[in-house]
Amino acid sequence: MLPRYLLLCCSLSLILLNQVQAESGNLAIGAKAGTLGGGAEVDLGLTDSIHLRGGANYLKFSFDSTISNIDYEMEPEFKNGSILLDWYPFSAGFRLTGGLFINDNTISLTGSPRRDTLLQDYAIPPEYAFAAPLADSVKVHGSVEFNTLAPYLGIGWNSNQERSQGWGVSLELGVLFQGSPQVSVLTASADAPLDSYTNDPVVVQALESERRAIEEDLENFQYYPVGSIMLHYTF
C-alpha cells in the first residue's frame, strides 16, 4: 500500500505545481502506452532544456514457463509511478532522462508438477501411490516481488520540445533497474489425502530449492526494458 500513497502524494504535488506554472505555457499532459502498460504523465518545463515529469503506469499479462519439471502460469502485474528529469542538450527534441520509479510490481504464479515426475521430485512415499489419480490436484503457489524504489535511465525524443501550444508525440527507450526478483511466498496445495503431505519437511525443503530456481529463472526481470510512445498536449 505504501507505494500507492507515495505515488498519490507525488502526483498531487506535481499537478498542483503545474497549475501554478500553467500560465507560462510550459505545462503538458498526455497518455502513453508501452512495455510498462498504459498510463498518463504530466510534464513541467523548468527551463528550455530541463523538464520534470511525473507519471503512473499499469500493466497485467501472463506467460507460461517450466522450472524444475513444474509447469507455471506466471502473471506479472506492474503498478508504478515515476518522477523523471529530462535534459535536452540540443535544440532538437532529443533528450536524456534519469529518475526514480516507485514500484508495486509483482508476479503471481501457479504451478502444476508434471505427473510423471511428481513422486520422484517431491518424494511422495509409496503408501500414497493409490492417490496417483489426484496428482493433478497438486499445485505450487507463489508471489514474486521487486525493489520498491527503482532507478531509471533512458533516451527519448519529443516532437514539441519548443513548448508550442498544441499536440505532440514523444518516444522513449530506457532501462528500469528494479533489482533481483524475490519470492516472498511459495506454498504447495493438494486434495486429500495428499494435502496432509504438503507441510512435510521433505516438501518444505523441495519448495525452498524451487524458490531459488524461480528467482534464477526470472533474473532477467531485474533489468526491465522500457519503451513507450506518448501523445501529449501543451497548454
Query: Under 8 Å CB-to-CB from 87, ≥6 apart: which residues?
Result: 49, 50, 95, 96, 97
pTM greater than 0.85 = no
- What distance lies between CA 61 and its chain's CA centroid? 10
Torsion of CA 185, 226, 54, 143, to 10 degrees: -10
Q: How far apart are CA 199 and CA 182, in angstroms?
A: 22
Q: 32-51: b or e for each residue (b if 16 or more CB lie within 10 Å)?
A: bebebbebebbbbbeeeeeb
3-state secondary structure of 36: coil
Where are the chain's structural domains? 1-47+82-103+148-180+221-235
Assigned architecture for domain 1-47+82-103+148-180+221-235: Beta Barrel (2.40)
Tens-digit pLDDT profile for the chain (235 aa)?
445 544 544 554 455 454 444 445 588 999 999 999 999 999 998 888 899 999 999 999 999 999 888 899 999 999 999 999 999 998 789 999 999 999 999 999 999 887 666 555 555 555 555 555 566 778 889 999 999 999 999 999 999 877 788 899 999 999 999 999 999 888 888 776 666 667 778 778 888 888 999 999 999 899 999 999 999 999 8
Q: How far apart are CA 88 and CA 162, in angstroms?
A: 10
14: left (phi over 0), alpha (psi -120 to 50) or beta: alpha
Give alpha helix (H) positions in 66-124: 115-121
